[in-house]
Structures are given as structure tokens and as C-alpha cells.
Structure 1
Amino acid sequence: MLKTKKIIVLGSCNTDMLVHTHRLPAPGETIMGGDFIMTPGGKGANQAVAASRLGGEVTFITKIGNDIFGRQSLEVFKRENINTNFIFSDAEHPSGVALITVDKDAENCIVVAPGANKTLSKEDIDQCREIIESATILLMQLEIPIETVEYAAKIAYNAGVKVILNPAPASFLSTRLLQNIHILIPNIIEAEVISGVKISDGETAKKAADIIHQKGVGTIIITLGKFGVLLKEKGGYYNIPIESKIKAVDTTGAGDTFCGAICVGILEGMSMVESVGFANTAAGISVTRAGAQLSIPYRKEVETAKKS
């Protein structure tokens, strides 16, 4: 099948309801918060918007409810120049919602009510098979059913499409899934769950990457927060720092911005090290702003930041 230089993002679509507060509450505790923001979100949607804003040609595959949140999300994707032809609607389940609390240090805690996201099925993927098989990259996360992720990964991998998985939220992944993944982008917690290794420094991060590689993944990109990124590719390790002068306001959506940017870098022929650097710059801009999709930068902003 003729390949097109397109990114397919398969994943969740939520509406984020975000409250800023001085600190995160303890179990059973009620505290007074500050500003409230309601914005479009969901890891899949965030990554689709990021890839589109940064220059990628994006098709988003997701499922929304037949409600105001779903309709508002659909309009957002159209404004972001994302192909919405494969966004399914569920008449029985509401659109997904995420409740997010962000503290003064920009740390967050998130609870997701998946709604229609949890009904995105293998039968839905069958309706998208042709466009998946014709793409260059398939990017996925884990806020939709794991069997749907596994099914789509196998279809794409067998068609020669580069399969990228951001394994969030953290979950055990089967060997059959990992063997159909070209690039895995976990954070520390996700890498620990998949590898069984407690990550405390660069050496333990390398050990975790080695174990994940042995499970079948060719390239592993572990995001280490303020300590930067560990890239394992073709037997080599690369420690790629982040900009230390960045003052974080809200880290919500930073990982999604990073993943979308990685896809654009690869699509444009950047090396993996260059793609990670590009993604670090984009994610670094996003943490200086509140919200998930609201914080995602445009390509011109990233190019300006890299020059400064």
C-alpha cells in the first residue's frame, strides 16, 4: 500500500476540569482551591493537537459521547486542522472527563472518568484499517481498552507503519504488544512498571531500558522530569538534558506535547536525538502555561525558543 507522510493518533478524548491549589489534598481532606479551568484534554487528543500544531498532518481516531463535551471537542479538532473522519460517537456513554488538581510546584493528580473512551473497539479499528496501514506513524496511549491498542498495533506493525506507544497511565504490557512497538515513551513510573526496575539514577534507568528492549522494543525514550531524557537506540544510550532555567507553572500535558513532537521530528527526518531535543523544547514551553491543550505551543514558538 502507498505510504503517506501522515501521523495517526489513536487514543482518548476528555474534557479536563482543572483546579489550582497550594498543595494536593491528603486522603479524606477538603482544601480550598484557586482558579478553575475547563479545557479540552485526554492524552490522545492532546497528542493529536500537539503533532498538528508542530507541523504534522494528523488523523485522530477516538470515540466521544453524544453530548456537549463531545461536540465541543469535535469543533476543537476541526479548528486544529485535524482529520476528524474517524472520530466515532457513542449514543449510550458520555464523553470522557478528567478531574485535575495542580499544586504550587506544578505537580498534579488526575482522576479520569473514561466514558465513551472505554468503548473504542476492535470493530471500530477495522473501519480505520486502510488509513492506518497507509500512514507513516501510529501513536497510541493507554486511556482506551488495551485490547484495542494491541489490535491496532499489530495491524500497523504488519503494514510497516512505525508504531509509537506512550504507556500512560502506567500498566503491565504483554510481550505480544511490546513486540509490535517500535518506540516506547514511558516516564519513570511507567518504565518501572514495565521493566520491574526501580529507577533512582542514570544507571538504573539504563537497566530498565535494557529490560524493555529485551521484551521486543527497538527504541526506548524514558522521560526523567527535571533530569531530562534517556534515549536507548541501536545499542547506544543518550542522556539529553532539558532547559534548566524553565519555571514550571503546570506540567499537565507536557508529556503529551513531547510525544506529539517526537512524531513530527521523525516524520521530518530528524535523528532520534534531534527529535528528542525538539520535543524537549516544545514540552518546556508547555509547562510554563496552565492547562493541557491550552499550553501546547505552535511550531513558530518552538523555532523561536531553539534560536534563543
Structure 2
Amino acid sequence: MSLLAVLGCAACAAVPEPTSRPEPQPAQPSVVQPVRIGVQPTSPAPPPTPQPTPARPEIFTFAGELTQGGWIRGRVPPGTVSATLDDTALTLDDEGFFFAAFDRDADRQTVLAATLANGRIIRSPVAIAPRDWKIERVDVARRPGGASEAFMQRRRPELERIYLSRQRETGAQGWRQDFIWPVQGRISGRFGSQRIYRGEPGSYHSGLDITTGESGTPFVAPADGVVVLAAEDFSLEGQLLIIDHGQGLNSAFLHASRLLVEEGEQVRQGQHIGDIGSSGRATGPHLHWGLTWRGSRLDPLLFVDGED
């Protein structure tokens, strides 16, 4: 017997036989991929080639209420460095969007103008529809003499505060929003209505009067903004609140019985900001809501959906 055979038998003797054998495991079936005769395997489709974004045309785009007392939101042509509506400068955001509006007595045509970085000027005429205002003609003369000097000594500082508050640029973004009604009630005074005293026109109504029948009814912010004036005792307006909505657009609320916000405070659309009253020169409890843009007076009815 060879040495290799002896070593092999010794190794066999050193390993004891197992007392039981493991159960045989079933064979795993092999997976066969189906092959389609005559069809070559396809590779993944390449990603689509990105298409360049088409350049914006060098025109103004805008939409809104193209009528006296109305407004527009729009965008200037690409490359614009400054823009105007007639002689009024427009405020542009980082993407060239703007707000503009038309006074109650605006002409039938105005012009948007943009100055481009290359010095070119693009002009876009805008047709403004006229409106039939409620005019009441009375056969009495206006009170002669006007306001007394004693009254004007009090009134001039009030007018100065109102003017300066409307010049503030707060960066508010409410001008982008669809406005909501500040309060539910009956419209008792419409924007633009006017009396003519024996041929002499009086001041037209510069806002919208909403009557609820009682003092203390809450009113809310129609859009986001920043409070730029909260006055407790003005001679005509009584408790007066002015909110800047950005881009030169602001709301004024007159004759309140209580103000719930302070100057410099940010407010959100729908936030309770005050209560209706009859403070100042008012014949009964109501909310006078006025809107202005860069000195132009606007019709609040053109900012909300339908009549309340």
C-alpha cells in the first residue's frame, strides 16, 4: 500500500460518520430570459435635447380694468431699466412686473413707456374707457368763504401726515393679490359721485361707503400691506387707517370707532384691523374705503368681485 493511500485511510478514520443526514434541498429552477427571434435588444432612449427658452418679445404685457378709476398689473419689455405711465414713474420688481392705475378723471388714452439698457424707448398706448358718473345738480350756491383759518390751522398738519404716509415705500406685496371686501354691508356712497352747485362743481366722492347699521362691526385688510398711518382724531376722517400695499397703491379707512393695528405693523389679507364707527365728520356709522395710486384716486369696486 502506498504512503498516499495510508494517509488517505487515516484521514477517513479520523472523521466520524454523522448520525443523520440533512434533507436534500430542492433544486432552484434556473431562470431563462425569453428571447424574441429576430428582434435585437434596444438601448435606453437618449434624454431629449433641451430646447432654448424663447426670448420674450419687446412689448408691454398687462391686464386689468382699463377704465377711469381702474388699474392694471403687467410686465415691461425685457431689458427695461425704467418705465413710466405718462409722467408717473413705475416701480418694477426683479422680474419686471409692475402695478399702475388711472385716476377718476383720466384722459381716454395714456402711454406706457420703457427705456431699454441700449437706450431704445418702447411706447405702448393704452385706451381708457370713460365712465358716466353719478352727478347731482342742485340749485343752491356753495357756501361762500370756504374753510375758516382756525379750522385750517388744525387741518394742514393732518393733510401733511396723510401726504407723507402715502409716499412711503414699504416693499409690501399686496398689489399682487386679488382684493377682498373689507366688510359685508350696504353700499351707501359710490366712488366718483359729485354735486354741481349752480354750475360750480363740488368735490367728488373719493371712495366707497359701506354701511352695516351699527358701530363696532369689524373690518379687515383687503390685501397684504404695512400700516403707514394710524391716526386717532383727525378733523374730517376721525380715526383713520392707511395701509400701503406696495408699488404706490394704498388703502384708507375712515370714521373707525377702534383701530387694532399700529404704524409700521405688517398686516395680512383678511386680518381684523379695526371696527366701524362714525368718528370725524360722518352722519352715521359706516366704513369709507378709499384707494389711491401715486396721487390718482381709484374705484374700490373695480378691485373686488361684484357688489357686496
TM-score (normalised: structure 2): 0.22
Larger relative contact order, structure 1 or 2 (CA cutoff 8 Å, min sep 6): 1
More strand per residue: 2
Which protein has the larger Cα radius of gyration, Structure 1 or Structure 2?
2
More helix per residue: 1
